[in-house]
Amino acid sequence: MNHDKELDASGLACPLPIVKTKKALGAMTPGQVLRVVATDPGSVADMAAFAEQTGNPLLAQSTQDKKFVFFLKKA
Amino acid sequence: MNESTDPTSLVLWGGFALAFVFGAVAHKANYCTMGAISDVVNMGHWGRMRMWLLTLAVAIIGTQLLHAGGQIDLARTIYQRPTLPWLSLLLGGTLFGIGMTLAGGCVNKNLIRLGGGSVRSLVVLAFMAIAAYMTLKGLFGQWRAAWLDPVSIDLAGLGMSDQSLASLLVRAGAVPAGPAVLGTALALGGALLVFVLADRRFRGNTVQVLAALVLGLLVVSAWYLSGHLGHGENPETLETVFFATNSRTLESMSFVAPTAYSLELLMLWTDKSLRVTFGIATVLGVIAGSLAYALASRRFAWDGFASFADLRNQLAGAVLMGFGGVTAMGCTVGQGMSGLSTLSIGSLIAVAGIVAGAAATMKCMLWREG
């Protein structure tokens, strides 16, 4: 999936992936897509809740080589 | 007395069994107090916070009913002593809150992660246990005893027999002594229930609701186990004692000091004065329960440190949790569930410190990311 910005949160434990994602989205313009890579298993539930709660749609998510990849669209 | 009714064995195996369920359920439901605070601070999402509050409501109602029914005596817990070391509770709680945020989770969360294969959590717990032990009996303990604990309020001098919220309300003339005290406690628990269950989305989350109910009941069961079933006459001394607890009084779930005592037991194994206790059994139970769930759900995965910065943050968090947890007399479970279930004023102070410390650290992280 095409994206405008990438955030590597590999190896970071909660709450850092969400904190970094929030900050990264804050610097983007509406409609842009952020790709986030994380390894914390808790990030799967966290990112879904973050997308729902903040209104930034979670376009897709997948698991690649024990890494969780998320695509979030800036609302 | 035959072996099957030996109260020491009952308390130890019962504690292990309760904690086993605690670890499995908490792993399944992604139960995490730091995560709950993070969800509220970083995204305004109250799902996991409601899970914590529902656990608390069940624990308060159950524990207070046990106390009112004469099954346990909460006035004998460490949370109800008539001296209120408010500075230790507030500072210790705040440092614990900072520490658990840096360490990616509280002691309970790291025990659960360890069961899931996290070597990182094993290192965090080892450093936390060293710092906790130093705060119990070592250098940090000297500082705590000299500078923090003496800053306290003598509640007995104010006419209160203990530091329960009920005693405060009676002393203030807000409620009469007697059955009204139980009524007040049940009203508080009920108010929490109403707040939590008012959210339709939370009510629809079966896993979170059931997990919270089970965890709350486990806290109540642990009080009953150590405070009723484990309370009786020691056949060797003929004294009435609480069997197999480190504090020599009734205990429920709590993980900071028990993890330190686990380390002590391992290091001084040949010292015959040291024995497995209720707290140590619960530490082992949480790890085992989490491991069992991780294996059954095929979620077990080895995990380590990602970088030097990660290692530095987590070890700093571990030391803060060890010092803060002992100084505040408990963690997110010890004070945040067991302590609050007794409606102790000290627990309210400690938990306020934990929440404030965690929230401030998260805000700081967000600011630094800029």
Distance between CA atoms of residues B111 and B126, nearest Å: 11
- DSSP readout, B222-267? HHHIIIIITEEE-TTT--EEETT-TTSS---S--HHHHHHHHHHHH
B307: nearest CA partner in chain A: A11
Which segment, A60-69, B173-182, B323-332, is predicted with the most confidence on average? B323-332
Q: Is the pLDDT of residue B210 over 90?
A: yes
Q: Is the pLDDT of residue B14 over 90?
A: yes
pLDDT at B1: 44
pLDDT at B363: 93
pLDDT at A65: 81
Distance between CA atoms of residues B347 and B248, nearest Å: 19
| Coil/strand/helix, residue A69 | strand
Confidence band (pLDDT; 50, 70, 90) for B150? very high
Distance between CA atoms of residues B202 and B222, nearest Å: 27
Distance between CA atoms of residues B288 and B266, nearest Å: 17
Q: Across chain B, what does the average pLDDT equal? A: 94
- DSSP readout, B61-130? HHHHHHHHTTS--GGGSGGG-SEE-HHHHHHHHHHHHHHHHHTTS-HHHHHHHHHTTBHHHHHHHHHHHH
Active-site pick, A14, A28, A44, A58: A14
- Region B18-33: mean pLDDT is 95
B304: nearest CA partner in chain A: A11
Range of lowest pLDDT (B76-85, B155-164, B242-251): B155-164
Interface touch B370/A15, C-beta < 8 Å: no
pLDDT at B369: 72
pLDDT at B80: 95
Greater confidence, A25 or B366?
A25
Distance between CA atoms of residues B293 and B23, nearest Å: 8
Confidence band (pLDDT; 50, 70, 90) for B206? very high
- Contact of A8 with chain B, judged by CB distance below 8 Å, is answered with no
Confidence band (pLDDT; 50, 70, 90) for B4? low
Q: Is there a catalytic annotation at residue A14?
A: yes
Optimal mutation site among B32, B43, B50, interface A, most CBs of chain A within 10 A: B43
Greater confidence, B236 or B221?
B221
Q: Is the pLDDT of residue A64 over 90?
A: no
Which strands form A67-73's sheet, in the order they lie side by side? A5-9, A33-38, A67-73, A58-64
- Contact of A60 with chain B, judged by CB distance below 8 Å, is answered with no
Q: Closest Cα partner for B218 from B13, B15, B8? A: B15
Q: Is the pLDDT of residue B370 over 70?
A: no
Which of chain A's residues have a Cβ under 8 Å away from the Cβ of B50? Answer: none
Question: pLDDT tens for residues A23-55?
Answer: 999 999 999 999 999 988 888 888 988 998 899
Q: Is the pLDDT of residue A72 over 60?
A: yes
Distance between CA atoms of residues B6 and B230, nearest Å: 9
Range of lowest pLDDT (B18-27, B36-45, B56-65, B127-136): B36-45
Q: Is the pLDDT of residue B248 over 60?
A: yes
Model confidence pTM above 0.90: yes
Q: Closest Cα partner for B281 from B248, B317, B251? A: B251
Interface touch B34/A15, C-beta < 8 Å: yes
Question: pLDDT tens for residues B260-290?
Answer: 999 999 999 999 999 999 999 999 999 999 9
- Contact of A69 with chain B, judged by CB distance below 8 Å, is answered with no
Question: pLDDT tens for residues B68-85?
Answer: 999 999 999 999 999 999
- Contact of B233 with chain A, judged by CB distance below 8 Å, is answered with no
Q: For residue B304, which phi and psi values (nearest 5 degrees)?
A: -135, -165
pLDDT at B305: 85
